[in-house]
Amino acid sequence: MLYLAIKAALSGVIVALVSEIARRNPGAGGLLASLPLVSVLGMIWLWRDTHDSVRMAAHAEATFWYVLPSLPMFLIIPWMLRRGITFSIALAVGCAVTMALYLAMISIGPRFGLKL
C-alpha cells in the first residue's frame, strides 16, 4: 500500500508542477506537459513490478499508437477558445473528439496489424 501511495504522490507532484509552471509561463508549462513523463513513470512502475520485457515492449508500442489520436485535442481546444467558446465546452469537445479517435484506433488498428 505504501508503494501505491508513493506512486500516486510522485505522479501528483508532476501534475501540480506542470500547472504551476504553466501559470507563470504557458510555453514552459506546455513543454513540460508534452514530455512523456506519465509514460516514463508508467514504464518505470511497470518494469519495477514485472521485469517483463515483452509486456514493456507492448506497453511502449501501444502508448505510441494511443498518443496519435490524442494530438488533435491540443489543436481543437485553442482553436475553439480563440473563437470565444467557453473553456468547459472546448475541453468537452476536445475530449469527445479524442475519445472518438481512440475508439477508431481500437477498431481500425488491429486491421493493420496493431496489437493494442
Over residues 29-56, the mean pLDDT reads 89
- pLDDT averaged over the chain? 92
pTM of the model: 0.74
Over residues 22-45, the mean pLDDT reads 87
CA dist 95 and 76 (Å) reads 10
CA dist 26 and 43 (Å) reads 27
With a pLDDT cut of 70, the percent of the chain lying above it is: 100
Lowest mean pLDDT: which of 8-17, 52-61, 104-113?
Answer: 8-17
8 A C-beta contact, residue 64 and residue 109: no
Reply yes or no on whether the pLDDT at 108 is more than 90.
Answer: yes
